[in-house]
Amino acid sequence: MKVCFVASSGGHWEEIMCLKEIADENDTCYVTEGGGQSEDCNLEDLYVFPQINRSEKGFFKHFIKLFFDARKVLKKERPDVLVTTGALLAFPFCLLAKCKGIKIVYIESFARVNNGSLTGKLVYPFADLFLVQWESLLKVYPKAKYVGGIF
């Protein structure tokens, strides 16, 4: 099975790296943002994009470009499943993956204990499997599955 792991830098990336055992059992590719973590890992099939912030000038232009970049990656890699922990970087990948019939597994960040993230709220309605790491988040995402911490 081909699995595409997508995560923003920082804690989101650290959580995706906790799934390395699953990754090692499958054909994989990774997508993240530039920064120390992406430069420090020795992963094959790693796609690194510039980090963008919702409050930065030119956000909309960068966000639209990210959709085109995501389309290229998904077309090239042709994953069966997309697994993500968010955040902003993940949304275009999830939306395009859904349009292409790729299964989506969204794992809400461990940092989210009582309220959902913006990306989680956007992806929740169409994710094939939505996982939460805190039982309290089942109030926010009633159809989610509680799995505990993935660390």
Cα–Cα distance, 6 to 33 (Å, whole number): 9
Cα–Cα distance, 139 to 143 (Å, whole number): 9
CATH code for position 50: 3.40.50.2000
What is the arithmetic mean of pLDDT over 98-109?
97
Would 142 be classed as within a structural domain? yes
Specify the residue for token string 């995706």: 16
What is the arithmetic mean of pLDDT over 57-86?
95
Q: How many domains does the chain have?
A: 1
Would 139 be classed as within a structural domain? yes
Would 137 be classed as within a structural domain? yes
Contact 106, 124 (CB under 8 A): yes
Q: In the predicted model, is pLDDT for residue 52 greater than 90?
A: no
Would 79 be classed as within a structural domain? yes
Would 38 be classed as within a structural domain? yes
Strand ranges of the sheet holding 145-146, from the earlier edge strand across to the other edge = 46-49, 27-33, 2-7, 81-86, 103-107, 129-132, 145-146
pLDDT above 90: percentage of residues in the chain:
68
Would 151 be classed as within a structural domain? no
Tens digit of each residue's pLDDT (9 = 90 or more) over 11-51: 899 999 999 888 888 999 999 998 766 666 778 889 999 88
Would 102 be classed as within a structural domain? yes
Q: What is the amino acid identity at position 91?
A: F
pLDDT of residue 94: 98
Quote the domain boundaries for residue 30: 2-146
Tens digit of each residue's pLDDT (9 = 90 or more) over 116-147: 999 999 999 999 999 999 999 999 999 999 99
